[in-house]
Amino acid sequence: MAQMHYFVGAKEAVDPIIDLAIKHDHKKRLCQIYTILGSYHCFVEENYPEAFKTFEKALKISGEVKDIITSVLASAWFGNALGWNCDFERALNCYQRALDINLAAKNLWGISVMKSNLALASYYYAGKINLGFQTTQEAVRIAEESGDIYSKATAYTLHGISCYGKGLLEEAEEHLLMGVEYCERINFHTWNTLARFHLGEIYFEIGNFSKSKGHYEKQIWVQEHNRLVPSWANAGKVGLARSKVMNREKDVNLESLYVHSRNNKVKAAEGWIQRYIGEILLNIDDQHISESEHWIQKAIEADQRNGMMLHLGKDYALYAELFKRKDDRLKARENLGKAVEIFKECGADGWVEKFEKELAAL
């Protein structure tokens, strides 16, 4: 499965034989080809409607010819695409199908990988943080039991993200760094960039803006070098700019950040990018407060619409910070209160504790 993360090379390999496989109705090969094409549409082109149609073909044909391995792979990649598109229930169904097959086969590394990915696509993005944390914790245990490095790379990365969701930043850092180490040992680029992006967030949160920049820069380089998910690379570029602003660096081009927001094709990243821009505008100088408010409001609307609940809490926390800057303590308290309530509903205990202290200080 790890080889399937070389999406460009995989598509180049099957391109010459697609027409032949269709002409001869070679179903065993077709379901494999459609799985590769669906992954390419998702991870490289970010054409989600085409990815969904192609994965559905792969699943239909793999079911007809009883190709279990292709059914698992197509289900997993389809689940990932659906998670990024904020269709969390359908993502859960896809990953559950892949997990059930691995459970029936008692395949430990496969069980761990599917649990990890299920937790990200169906629980973390949807703000079901406790459920995601329990699932990735179990995935780490099973990965260790299996001894398989691919499942360890996946499990440690995604448990690190679950820890971040809980607001357990030290644990998140520890697990993500282990995830990066395992990912780099097997050239597992996709989840390496995911780990780097979240390490950028963690170091920003604890005020180490230089380290934050370093991880965003590595994330962006790996994604652009391997032509992986341009929208997430652009989210990393906006994150990098946010760290630069807090590091008092001046080479931040606001217009390029707005372009990244306009060009974004990943629903899960929509509010994330908009909140980053709102925070940049809030901190770059005293002249962009009204623009900052506009972008924070956009982030709130996007995360509400897309069901990105943890990030909706972060949007309201940033909105409270804006009102503090405007010396409007009433609205600051109101928005911080909303953030705390959302974090409580998500099970994000560390964030609850952090922002309850800020609320008390107001």
DSSP assignment of 242-271 equals HHHHHTT-----HHHHHHHHHH---HHHHH
pLDDT digits (tens, 9 = 90+) for 45-84: 999 999 999 999 999 999 999 999 999 999 999 999 999 9
Contact 302, 271 (CB under 8 A): yes
Q: Can you list the domains of the chain with their CATH numbers?
A: 1-85 (no CATH), 265-362 (1.25.40.10)
User: Quick check: pTM over 0.75?
Assistant: yes
* Sign (positive or negative) of CA dihedral 319, 169, 125, 233: positive
For the chain, percent of residues with pLDDT exceeding 90: 90
- Which residues touch 358 (CB under 8 Å, ≥6 apart)? 320, 336
- Burial-class residue 9 by CB neighbours within 10 Å (0-12, 13-18, 19+): exposed
d(CA 348, CA 355): 11
Residue 5 pLDDT = 64
Q: Is the pLDDT of residue 280 over 60?
A: yes
pLDDT digits (tens, 9 = 90+) for 296-324: 999 999 999 999 999 999 999 999 999 99
d(CA 236, CA 219): 7
d(CA 173, CA 307): 26
pLDDT digits (tens, 9 = 90+) for 39-51: 999 999 999 999 9
d(CA 77, CA 55): 8
